[in-house]
Amino acid sequence: MNGQCPTCAQDLQGCAFFFDVDGTLAEIQPRPELVFIPAAILAALGRLQTVGVPVAVISGRRLADLDQLFEPLRLPAAGVHGAERRGADGRLRQLNLDREALRRVGDELFQACARYPGLHLENKGLAFALHFRLAPELEAVARGLAEDFIRRYPALLTLQPGKCVFELKPRGASKGEVIREFMREPPFGGRVPVFIGDDLTDEAGFQAVNALGGHSFKVGPGETAARQRLDSVSAVEKWLDALVRPLKPEVYP
């Protein structure tokens, strides 16, 4: 196979790619269920997978959501900011969490959010996202609710702010940690990790790949530990296109 990374001139076969999803491979939409992966990005990821270059997605979404988004591909993936992970071997690993306590938190949050119709509570089972994209005036309310629950359940949850969202994620869930776990396993191990993300939750991933001698890319503006930058989702799409374009045509009809 021919092909080099357009940014670092590294042989593609020596790399392992990790991608955040929302805001990185897909434009952010008013509601998370409206998000889709552009066909050109799906095709590029499929090409990488076909030639044996490891690709995984690392997202705040649940694994089941990710599988739907990336159909027909089935990628190694980490969901809920790393609380659940499916390796290249198909095996599922989850953080050991108190499910019953999380269920009670979900019920309580549902009650608390019911007073604010503009606030969208996304219950992921292992995490809870308070979305205020459609009601920006509720940012302070969402922050207050999230901080209150973190104070009351400090052993269970931590606060993960994001774009128009305050998320309560399980303590111990980290995009950096799951990237390290992937990198200890085949086919990722021994390669140079590349991670692209756009939001605060991705900073742990940038730090992890920096420490592993890899390449970190932040999508869009803002302070970051990432060492390189891409402007937008469409810039990621172009970058991916440049990545897969040199691959031998006989491999990709």
Active-site residues, by number, are 20
Element (H, E) at 223: none
Return the number of the residue (23 or 79) whose C-beta is nearest Mg ion.
23
Minimal distance, residue 126 CB to Mg ion, in Å = 18
DSSP notation for 138-165: GHHHHHHHHHHHHHH-TTTEEEEEETTE
Measured in whole angstroms, how far is the alpha carbon of residue 241 from the centre of its chain?
Answer: 20
Nearest partner of 70 among 15, 129, 5, 24, judged by Cα: 24
Residue showing the smallest CB distance to Mg ion in the complex? 23
- Nearest approach, Cβ of 32 to Mg ion (angstroms)? 11
Interacting residues toward Mg ion by CB under 5 A:
20, 22-23, 198-199
| Minimum gap (Å) between residue 33 Cβ and Mg ion | 16
CB of 174 to Mg ion, least distance (A): 15
In the bound state with Mg ion, the residue whose beta carbon lies nearer, of 167 and 199, is 199
**Is the CB of 48 or the CB of 219 nearer to Mg ion?**
219
Q: Which is nearer to Mg ion, 199 or 203 (CB)?
A: 199
Cα 85 to Cα 28, 58, 94, 132, 187: the distances in Å are 23, 9, 6, 27, 15
